[in-house]
Amino acid sequence: MKFFVDTAEINDIKELAATGLLDGVTTNPSLIAKSGRDFLEVTKEICGIVDGPVSAEVIALDHEGMMREAEILRKIADNVCIKVPLTIDGLKTCKALTGDGTKVNVTLCFSANQALLAAKAGASFISPFIGRHDDNGFDGLELIRDIRLIYDNYNYATEILAASIRHGVHVLECARIGADVMTAPPAVIKGLVKHVLTDKGIEGFMADWAKTGQSL
C-alpha cells in the first residue's frame, strides 16, 4: 500500500520523506489555509521534496473555472495531481484532464456509486473519506470494501486513495481490504511505528548491553 501524507507543512513532509516511506502528498484548501503559506509557492516546494504525486485542489466549482485553475496548477511541476470535487463539473474536468495525460484525484467521495462515476471519468485516484463518513454515522471502511469490489469487478485502473484517516486501525483495515493508497496526517503515520513492547524491548537491551561494559 502506498503512503501519502495529508498536510501542507513542509517540515513534516521533509521528515517523512527522509524515511523513504513516503509515496506522495495530498493537500486541500483547509490544509493550505492552516499552513499560512501561498498556495502556488508551498505546492511548488512540496513537489520538490517528493517524487510521487502531490494533490493540489481546484477552488472553482464550475468546469471552465476548474480547467483554468488546473492549467495554472499543472505548470507547477510534473508531479502535480489535480484534485477535483465529486460533482458533475468535477467529473467533466476529470475526463478532460486525464484525456490528455494529467493525473486527477477525485475527492470528497462518500458513496460507492460516486466512486463508480469517478472511475468511468478516468480518475487516477478516488478519495473516499473514511473518518468523516464514520463521524456521520456511516461505516467508512465498508465504503472502501464496496469500492474495492466494484473496481475489481470491472478492472478499473483508478486507485483507491483512502482519505480522512484518523488512526492506525483505519490504516490496518485499509491494507486488509486492499486500498491502493492511504493518506493520513503526519501524526497518524508516525504513530504507526510505536509499540509499547518495542520501547520496552529497546530499554531492556540497552540496560543489558551497558552491563557488558563493551562498546562498538
Q: Using CB under 6 A as the criterion, which residues of the chain lie in contact with ligand E4P when the complex forms?
A: 6, 26, 28, 107, 127, 129, 131-132, 163-164, 183
CB atoms under 10 Å from CB of 76, counted, come to 19
Element holding 85 (H helix, E strand): strand 80-85
Choose between 24 and 122: whose C-beta lies nearer to ligand E4P: 24
Q: Residue 101 contacts by C-beta under 8 Å, 6 or more apart in sequence?
A: none
If DSSP codes are grouped into helix, strand and coil, which group holds residue 117? helix
The angle formed by the CA atoms of residues 77, 126 and 38, to the nearest 5 degrees, is 40
Least distance CB 6 / ligand E4P (angstroms): 5
Distance between CA 72 and CA 6 in Å, rounded?
22
Least distance CB 23 / ligand E4P (angstroms): 14
Active site residue 211: no
Distance between CA 197 and CA 183 in Å, rounded?
26
The three cell numbers of residue 133 are: 463518513
Least distance CB 201 / ligand E4P (angstroms): 32
The angle formed by the CA atoms of residues 72, 73 and 76, to the nearest 5 degrees, is 100
Least distance CB 38 / ligand E4P (angstroms): 19
Instruction: From residue 199, give the alpha-carbon distance in Å to each of 9, 16, 158, 188, 195.
Output: 28, 20, 39, 18, 7
Choose between 16 and 163: whose C-beta lies nearer to ligand E4P: 163
Choose between 90 and 197: whose C-beta lies nearer to ligand E4P: 90
Choose between 6 and 23: whose C-beta lies nearer to ligand E4P: 6
Choose between 28 and 93: whose C-beta lies nearer to ligand E4P: 28
Least distance CB 166 / ligand E4P (angstroms): 7
Of 14, 83, 95, 200, catalytic: 83
Strand partners, 163: 129
Catalytic positions, written as ranges: 83
